[in-house]
A = this chain, B = another copy of it.
Amino acid sequence: MSDVKSAASPSASPLYLRDEELKEGVELLFRAFLEIFGQREEMGEVLGRAHRRALYIIARHPGINVAGLLGILKITKQSLARVLNDLLAHGYVERRASVRDGRMRQLSLTSKGAALENALWEAQRPHLVQAFKEAGPDAVAGFRRVLSGLAERAAGTKSPGTA
């Protein structure tokens, strides 16, 4: 792991791996995140970011069960419960027992939920498209490569709650 040492030494660290560049990358990641996820109540409803995120995941994985959802969201069961109950109460999400395994609850969007998800996505997409288009396909490919590397913390250094 010590291929790169102090990041201040030019020989071991190409320009793009200097501390300054790395820190700028971190800053950029933070600010981009805020822009994309920091949106307050575009939903016109009482639903917040956590709800939106759950909605998203369910939309992309219809029939997902709670454990699967938890695995993706990486939050606790209790945290999810509140969010999920809100979504159920508002009629955005449907929950029914699996036929294969009666313990499992399969989650899917109602048509109302799908409409909401779509509306939210439509509101968000132009910004994404613009940024992606301006950067170009190659930049987007790089974006994905780097983020993938960052997201997959190799040795599972920690998951939420590991502290």
Contacts and interface: CB of A to CB of B under 8 A. Distances in A.
A80 interface: no
Interface of A: 1-5, 7, 14-17, 19, 21-26, 28-44, 53, 56, 59-60, 62, 74, 114, 117-118, 121-151, 153-154, 157-158, 160-163
A141 B117 CA distance: 32
The oligomer's copy count stands at 2
Sorted nearest first, the 6 A-B pairs with minimum C-beta distance are A142-B142, A131-B149, A139-B142, A44-B163, A31-B151, A143-B146
Given A43-B163, A127-B157, A137-B14, A35 B150 contact: yes
B161 A40 contact: yes
